[in-house]
Amino acid sequence: MAPLNCLELSIFYKNLPLISSYKMYLEKNSQINMEKLSDRESLLYDN
């Protein structure tokens, strides 16, 4: 059980940059989506 966990950990740490960049990508995307949403709302309120 322990060797498997060590292996999983090493794989996880190897992929950590990938995971963090993916998280940043997701956050950026959600930020953009929020901005689009707020733009749409402001358009609604302007009219």
Cα 26 from Cα 20, distance rounded (Å)? 10
pLDDT band, very low/low/confident/very high, at 15 (cuts 50, 70, 90)? confident
Query: Which has the closest alpha carbon to 16: 29, 24, 45?
Result: 24
Q: Is the pLDDT of residue 26 over 80?
A: yes
Question: Would you say residue 39 has pLDDT above 60?
Answer: yes
